[in-house]
Amino acid sequence: MKKTFTNFLAFTFFLVSWTLLPLSSYGQIVIEFDDYPQPDSYEVFRFQADINNVQIPAEGADQLWDYSNLEVIGNSLSVFSSAEGDNTFPGAKYVTPRGLTFQAFNYNSLVYGALDENGVYEMGRLPQDTTFSITAISGGPNDALRFVGVPLPFEGRLDLIRFPLSYQDSWTQTSREITPFELTVAAFGLDMVPGARTRITTVTRSVVGWGKLITPNREGESNEPRDVLLMRVDRMTIDSFSLASNPPPQPLMDAFGLTQGFIAEDVFYLFWDQYDNSNLMRVNISEGDIFSVFFKPDHNDIPSSVSALDFTTPLAYPNPISPLQELNIETDQISSNGTFVLTDMNGRQVHNTSFTALAKDKITVPIPAYLTPGMYVFQLIDNTGRVRGIGNISVK
Mean pLDDT by 10 residues, the chain (396 residues): 42 37 57 89 87 95 96 85 91 90 86 96 94 93 95 96 96 96 96 96 97 92 94 97 95 93 96 92 93 86 39 78 90 76 75 78 88 83 72 83
**Cα separation, 124 vs 182, whole angstroms:** 20
Query: What's at 379, amino acid-wise?
Result: Q
| CA nearest to 371, candidates 328, 321, 329 | 321
For residue 10, tell me if it sits in a domain. no
Q: Domain containing 332: what range?
A: 310-395
Q: What is the pLDDT of residue 21?
A: 37
Return the amino acid letter for 41: S
End position of a domain, from candidates 275, 292, 307: 307
Degrees, nearest 5: CA angle 297-311-107: 80
If asked whether residues 231 and 351 sit together in one domain, one would say: no
Q: How far apart are CA 275 and CA 254, in angstroms?
A: 48
Q: Which of 262, 279, 307 is the last residue of a domain?
A: 307
Indicate the DSSP class of residue 21.
Answer: S
In a shared domain, residues 242 and 162: yes
Tell me whether residue 22 is in a domain: no
* DSSP-derived 3-state class of residue 162: strand
CA pair distance 116, 121, nearest whole angstrom: 9
Question: Residue 144 and residue 192: Cα distance in Å, rounded?
Answer: 8
CA 389 to chain centre: 20
Q: Does residue 255 form part of some domain?
A: yes
Is 196 a member of any domain?
A: yes
* Pair 73, 129 in one domain: yes
Is 222 part of any domain?
yes
Contact 284, 291 (CB under 8 A): yes
pLDDT of residue 347: 63
Contact 344, 374 (CB under 8 A): yes
Q: Does 260 share its domain with 386? A: no
Of 44, 68, 62, 47, nearest to 229 by C-alpha is 62
In a domain, residue 18? The reply is no
Question: Looking at the domain assignment, is residue 27 inside a domain?
Answer: no
Residue 281 CA to residue 295 CA, distance in Å, equals 4
Residue 279: burial class (beta carbons within 10 Å; 0-12, 13-18, 19+): buried
With respect to residue 3, please indicate whether it lies within any of the assigned structural domains.
no
| Neighbour count for residue 186 (Cβ, 10 Å) | 13
> Cβ of 107: how many Cβ atoms within 10 Å?
20
HSE-up of residue 32 (Cα within 13 Å, Cβ side):
2
One-character DSSP codes across 101-145 = EETTEEEEEEEEEEEETTEEEEEEEEE--EEEE-HHHH--TT-EE
pLDDT number for residue 30? 95
Residues 277 and 389 placed together within one structural domain of the fold: no
CATH number for the domain that contains residue 345 = 2.60.40.10
Q: Is 294:44 a contact under the CB 8 Å cutoff?
A: no
Tell whether 152 and 97 lie within a shared domain.
Answer: yes
106 and 120 co-located in one domain: yes
- In terms of domains, do 139 and 273 share one? yes
- Domain match, 330 and 264 both: no
* Confidence (pLDDT) at 394: 85
In order of 121, 353, 364, the CA distances from 321 in angstroms are 34, 17, 13
Q: How many domains does the chain have?
A: 2
Residue type, 116: D
Residue 292 and residue 317 share a domain: no
DSSP class per residue in 36-84: S---SSEEEEEEEE--TTPPPPPPEEEEEEE-TT--EEEEEEEEEEE-T
**Residue 87 three-state SS:** coil
Whether residue 298 is found in the same domain as residue 314: no
Same domain, 321 and 293: no
Domain termination site, one of 273, 289, 307:
307
Residue 247: DSSP 8-state: P
